[in-house]
Amino acid sequence: QQPVQSPQAVILREGEDAVINCSSSKALYSVHWYRQKHGEAPVFLMILLKGGEQKGHDKISASFNEKKQQSSLYLTASQLSYSGTYFCGTESTSGTYKYIFGTGTRLKVLA
Amino acid sequence: DTAVSQTPKYLVTQMGNDKSIKCEQNLGHDTMYWYKQDSKKFLKIMFSYNNKELIINETVPNRFSPKSPDKAHLNLHINSLELGDSAVYFCASRGGTRDTEAFFGQGTRLTVV
């Protein structure tokens, strides 16, 4: 039932790009992206809503395909600070209170 | 001024004990959650409360009992702790509309020995 993220883990060099995918089995109203650094709480990055509206980070972009119930997070020209575990948070069209997270993607950026 | 504060940060206890984790938010949010993050980093929803009312209970053992005395507080009491309860527990809150993000507490690392 948790949205599935891919890849599970990725290692990059500084300056390289990465794409993280989130796929749900349920119809989604919105997708939210978070980054969690080791030993810390997840921190919000951006929201994507049905209809194409986006809110959030100015250096990270994302897409939301409502029909396929999928979202992708695009990290371009990665920096060391991008290292962490990325989660998609999802809300289905059926209600606002079940806010569930994807399986997570561990990203490590090397100098 | 911390938006979502969770205490304690670390909790080490023996099997069979009872323990509580407290969470408070000063954001005026209506909805609060408890999540469990296991060693594989999966973030699993446990409970969701809206305006002090339990909305979601994700088949969590009834040794776990959340309590919300008011909409700013959501505490988690765990009875008869087991080794498998060892994890990081996060409290989070969200506003009342679907375009709002979750704000997390710092997490409580529970270790059952």
Asked whether the predicted pLDDT for residue A58 surpasses 70, the reply is no
Query: The domain containing residue A12 runs over which residues?
Result: 4-110
Mean pLDDT of B92-113: 92
Q: Would you list the domain boundaries of chain B?
A: 4-19+26-97+105-112
Among B43, B53, B89, most A C-beta atoms within 10 A, so best to mutate, is B43
Asked whether the predicted pLDDT for residue B22 surpasses 80, the reply is yes
Answer yes or no: do A97 and B42 touch at CB < 8 A: no
Per-residue pLDDT band for B97 (boundaries 50, 70, 90) equals confident
Chain B contact present for A97, CB below 8 A:
yes
- What DSSP line would sit under chain A, residue for residue? -PPEEE-SEEEEETT--EEEEEE-SS-EEEEEEEEE-TTS--EEEEEEETTS-EEE-SSEEEEEETTTTEEEEEE-S--GGG-EEEEEEEEETT-SS-EEE---EEEEEE-
pLDDT, averaged across chain B: 93
CATH 2.60.40.10 fits B4-19+26-97+105-112, yes or no: yes
